[in-house]
Amino acid sequence: MTDDIDRDPARDPALASVLRDLGPEPPMEAVDWDRLERSVSARARERFAARILRAPWWQPMAAWARPAIPLGLAAGIALFVVVLRSPAETAEAAEPLLFADQLAQSVYQGDSATLLQTALAGEDADP
Amino acid sequence: MPGSEADEEWRLVERVRGGDLGAFDALVRRYMRRGFSIAFRILGQREDAEDLVQEAFMAALEAIDGFRPGRPFGPWFHRIVVNRAYNARKTRAIRDTEEIPDAAAATSPSPEEEAERADLRRRLSEAMASLTERQRTIVQLFELEGFSGDEIAGILEVPPGTVRWDLHRARKILRAVLGEEEG
């Protein structure tokens, strides 16, 4: 009988039988499983209590971090989009820009009449 | 292990991390028998195996934050059991499998057969003792506990090929004692 190390060999019942003969089998019936479970559970309860006492002050807040970070990010993006697309904000920003452009163009062209006219018009436009 | 079972165990682990004792009890109920059986194979004594299973569950609880998602709980827990059983065996000087149990020795009907069986057990015990601890554990987990090579690899944290090679070597030695022809 040979064993291939690339995959599991077949079980060997004869070998298993003599191995069982060699030492005692786990006495599964002799164990009081309910008592064992209660014992583990009681010790775990103490450990849970100790974990709560040991927990750093920020740990309850940290539990909220996972949902809070993407929600905050989404809210920030939404706010940014709303501010960017606000009509009032766009009109206020566009007017001084237009006035500045006209003023610069007049200076560049050296046209004093247009420069004066543009400056006066801008003065009128200011609130 | 089916994916849904691994997912369910991961949810249990997450609840344990959140302080849910009921979730921990569910994991205990699921793994205490197998854990005990493995511990007994290595330690050979019921009381020691029961104590060790309790200690292993406490160690698992302490280390639960380090448990990685998507992995089955079983191999991780069984690894704790095996490592602790090795340590316990070294430090407590517990009797090992070389001892012949009375129950096995009392099953022979005649003095001649009894002598033959005793001789076979002695030679097998010597052969088992000649194996490395890892080979011994692999043979027991594979032949007696029914774990697959991949599962044993997960428990012992060695490559599956190493497990199968050790199993092959161990079986060859044991079969030689049984008088089988090796291929």
Q: What is the pLDDT of residue A40?
A: 95
Locate B32 and state its tokens: 């205490």
Q: What is the pLDDT of residue A62?
A: 67
Residues in B touching A10 (Cβ below 8 Å) = none
pLDDT of A105 above 80: no
Residues in B touching A28 (Cβ below 8 Å) = 33, 36-37
Distances (CA, A) of B111 to B29, B50, B64, B158: 45, 36, 54, 45
Percent of residues, chain B, with pLDDT higher than 70: 86
pLDDT of A101 above 80: no
CATH classification code of B3-92: 1.10.1740.10
Residues in A touching B100 (Cβ below 8 Å) = 22
Distance of CA B123 to the CA centre of its chain: 22
Q: What is the pLDDT of residue B117?
A: 77
Residues in B touching A3 (Cβ below 8 Å) = 164, 167-168, 171
- Domain B103-178 in this protein, CATH class: mainly alpha
Residue A56 forms contact with B (CB below 8 Å): no
Give the whole-angstrom CA distance, residue B150 versus residue B3: 16
In chain B, list all ranges with CATH 1.10.10.10. Answer: 103-178
Task: Give the nearest chain A residue to B161 (CA atoms).
Answer: A5
Whether the complex's predicted ipTM surpasses the cut of 0.95: no
Q: What share of chain A is helix, strand, coil (3-state, %, to 5)?
A: 75, 0, 25
Cα A93-A99-A102 angle, rounded to 5 deg: 135
Q: Cβ separation of B19 and A31 shorter than 8 Å?
A: no
Between B110 and A99, the more confident residue is B110
pLDDT of B15 above 60: yes
Nearest by CB to B161, from A5, A9, A33: name it.
A5
Q: Is residue A33 within 8 Å of B46, Cβ to Cβ?
A: no
pLDDT in tens, B121-175: 888 888 998 999 999 999 999 999 999 999 999 999 899 999 999 999 999 999 8
pLDDT of A55 above 90: no
pLDDT of B28 above 90: yes
Residue B121 forms contact with A (CB below 8 Å): yes
Q: What is the pLDDT of residue B1?
A: 54
Locate A49 and state its tokens: 């209590």
In chain B, list all ranges with CATH 1.10.1740.10. Answer: 3-92
